Amino acid sequence: MLLNLGLRAVLKSSAGVLRESSARCSAVSVKPWTCSSALLPAPTISRIAGSFAVTTPVRHYARGTKNRKTVPESHLSDLHPTMLKFDYASVPLAQTTDDLVKRLLSLELARHSDKLQMKTEQLIAKVRQDETDHSSVEVQVAILTARIRNYQEHLQKHHKDKANKRRMLMSIDKRKKLLKNLRLVRYEAFERVCEQLGITYTFPPEYYRRVTKRWLAKKELCKRVFRAVQAQKTEQKLKLEQSLESAKSKEASTAKV
């Protein structure tokens, strides 16, 4: 009997809690199965009998501020927008036209390729020997420098562009070979080019290979193959000399007869 009475009391109290939670959900116009009593504060009873008001839940959280990445300065930033394009810079009529035409012919509305061409010509003018110089080593280094800096700026924004990264590495290797040759032939021109273009020349690292059993065995095999090939060549050379001597002796015997 006592156990039954205890069970009935527990069921009645749980039913009262469910009724109270459903009333709160209906007051805030939320479905009963989605209402969470943990998010709702205690109800405040209004003056009207049989009704109560519930305050809206407050969510105490805020989104963290994202740190914006600082965009590095472009190598084309020193080009003034009022400068004319390379094709129209030497035309005297372009200097006397109205402002609208000048704006159309200037770098303000120009493409990126036009700006890159203008920058390349500026670098070439710093290192070329004379006005007719278009294919010397210094000019080639200036063209490759402008191209490499353009690739670097592009890859900072699009770091997954593998094709342009490969082209940039190929251009760097080509410029390194040209500078190495220029340093051996004309050291003064090499220093002047590096100073004018802002290039830091670094020496390549010394070749080093870790000695392993596989590498030693392969090296010994290569040595044996080389010796065998050299011995075969000497045998062929001796046979050729003997055949030539025999032919000469036959000719001498026939001449005596």
Work out the number of other CB atoms within 10 angstroms of the CB of residue 6: 10
Query: Collapsing DSSP states into helix, strand and coil, what is residue 31?
Result: coil
Among 63-67, 104-108, 205-209, the least confident range: 63-67
Among 51-60, 77-86, 117-126, the least confident range: 51-60
pLDDT of residue 90: 73
Query: Collapsing DSSP states into helix, strand and coil, what is residue 248?
Result: helix
* Max avg pLDDT among 26-35, 81-90, 112-121, 227-236: 227-236
The span from the CA of 141 to the CA of 193, in Å, is 8
pLDDT of residue 21: 52
- Average of per-residue pLDDT values in the chain: 79
Predicted confidence band of residue 1 (pLDDT cuts 50, 70, 90): low
Among 12-16, 42-46, 69-73, 234-238, the least confident range: 42-46
pTM over 0.75: no
> Does residue 105 carry a pLDDT above 90?
no
Work out the number of other CB atoms within 10 angstroms of the CB of residue 232: 10
> Does residue 20 carry a pLDDT above 80?
no
> Locate tokens 């998010």: which residue?
39
> Which of 143, 152, 155, 81 is CA-nearest to residue 116?
143
Q: Which two tokens stand for residue 54?
A: 């519930």
Strand pairing class (52-53; 44-45): antiparallel
Read out DSSP for 75-107? Answer: TTTTS-TTSBPTTTTT-GGGGSS-HHHHHHHBG
81 neighbors 106 (Cβ within 8 angstroms): yes
